[in-house]
Amino acid sequence: MIMTKEQLFLKAQSQVAEMLRLVERAVERGERIDEVERELFAQLLSVSRTCQEAFVAAQGDGDVGQEVQRDGRCLRRLEDRHPRRYLSIFGELRIERFVYAVRAGQKVEHAPLDQRLGLPASEFSYVLQDWQQRLCVQDSYGEAVASLGKLLGVAPSERAAEQMTQRVAADAEVFQLQQAPPPGQEEGEIIVATADAKGVPMRRPLAERIHRSHPRRGKGEKANKKQMAYVGAVYSIDRFVRSAADIVEEVCRHERAAERPRPQHKQVWAEMTPVSEGEVPTGRERVFVEMAAACHDRDPHRRKTLICLMDGERALWEVAGEWLPRAVGILDLFHVLERLWLAAYCFHSERSPQAAEFVAHRLRMLLEGKVGYVIGGLRRLGDQQALTGAQRKTLNAVITYYENNRPHMRYDEYLAAGYPIGSGVAEGACRHLVKDRLERTGMRWTVPGAQAILHLRAIHINGSWDKYMTHHIEAEQSRLYGHTGSCPFYAQRRTVVFEGSRLASGG
């Protein structure tokens, strides 16, 4: 039986009275406060659901006459009410309403009550989606669903939560491109763009899983394939002039200089290459487009020094040259240091004082701008020691790495200018944004599923969650009911950014 608003109000009043009696009984029985708290919360959910039902009942049944005109077409009211399930944080509601179609048996094209209430596209309320996805970006779907169920007594299935993630993330790219730059007075003296890549374990194609001829993997064959997620970050920072000796001392002590300036207004992105038959930008290109747009917006008149700080991956530097051509390229010092240790272990035992001295001496030379001397010295030392086999291969790889990246190793100039020389921001973003969520034991992803989580997780890390959910709700309501929202601006913005008409000349 469908209850009226007045009947539901009476029911809610009865439920509130029962809550008061619950408190009185708890006092008489001497119950602990936490026990009362749990009982009151359960009752509160129940009375809130009744109030929500009363709100829906007050909106009517969506009957606006026998016929309505929509987009120049005549739609007729179907004879029977059509129920719709609505799962809110208070529990499940069944909304009975009239709907309109060309004729019976045809697709429902208009539901006036849905529009009046602003119902979402799915059966899950926007508040439930918000709360569920806050958990999903932090934990696995199973853990997130279980947590919400424990708190509210209601939750979608794991599969529904995964589908919800992709729906909620549908407006993330639009949102990211529309964000206003940070206030200029809060920015540092230098704009830094940094990028890195992290492998995401992917699900094997269904056909491959079903028709696999050999149930056991062959020698060297991995259980799953990985696809790269490209992570980018842009931040500003003040200059910090140091000497080579300062850096060597800091590295040897494994301590960050206390007076080192902090990055300001860090923004992060993560992009994978979408699966498409047509020509689409790779994840690498997409993340550099976003970084280039952010660098332009944060320094439109190009008054600040722009730095691109990365490891030695050639493909990243090629894309950086296209989208950030005016940037000063700097090779991350920590990757340089890793190679020095590999070289040291070709001549000295691991963790020996001799290996540490070998590294400290050559690190100081690199920081003083003597890259050629270090490369030549390593080559001569390898010949003198007559290295062979794996050690010779390792040393050659180190030398090649330095030779290939030599244009980005002018550390004496960088230190004198106060530039940062370590890409810890990108390394940390890869670990926190990608690895901590997508590389847990047993996890396997599709490209759309991984991209959705990465988009939402980046928004969460950037501190824009509440703002994004407002944007997403407005955009979906616009798609469903034609309400004005924030999405129309995107078409022009996307054309400008992806065609590069504004950025290709210098980032």
The whole-number pLDDT of residue 502 equals 38
Note whether 165 and 130 are within 8 A (CB): no
Nearest-5° Cα angle at 505, 502 to 506: 100
The whole-number pLDDT of residue 253 equals 75
Could you count the other beta carbons within 10 Å of the beta carbon of residue 155? 23
Rounded to 10 degrees, what is the CA torsion of 190, 196, 200, 205? 110
The whole-number pLDDT of residue 491 equals 39
Note whether 164 and 156 are within 8 A (CB): yes
The string of pLDDT tens digits covering residues 57-72 is 999 999 999 999 988 8
Pairing of β 190-202 and β 100-101: unpaired
The whole-number pLDDT of residue 501 equals 37
The whole-number pLDDT of residue 208 equals 54
Note whether 134 and 460 are within 8 A (CB): yes
How far apart (Å, rounded) are the C-alpha atoms in residues 320 and 331? Answer: 13
The whole-number pLDDT of residue 498 equals 43
How far apart (Å, rounded) are the C-alpha atoms in residues 335 and 310? Answer: 9
Note whether 319 and 271 are within 8 A (CB): no
The whole-number pLDDT of residue 330 equals 97
Note whether 236 and 187 are within 8 A (CB): yes
How far apart (Å, rounded) are the C-alpha atoms in residues 233 and 424? Answer: 11
Low-confidence ranges of the chain (pLDDT < 50): 210, 221, 484-507
Helix (H) or strand (E) holding 308: strand 305-310
Three-class secondary structure assignment of 75-131? EEECCCCEEEEEEECCEEEEEEECCEECCCCCCCCECHHHHHHCCCCCCECHHHHHH
Q: Which backbone phi and psi does 331 adopt, to 5 degrees?
A: -80, 130
Q: Which residue has the tokens 């040291």?
A: 344
Q: Which residues contact 268 (CB under 8 A, 6 or more apart)?
A: 231, 232, 233, 429, 433, 458, 461, 462
- Exposed / middle / buried, residue 265 (Cβ in 10 Å: 0-12, 13-18, 19+): middle
SS3 418: coil
Report how far Cα 392 is from the mean position of its chain's Cα atoms: 41
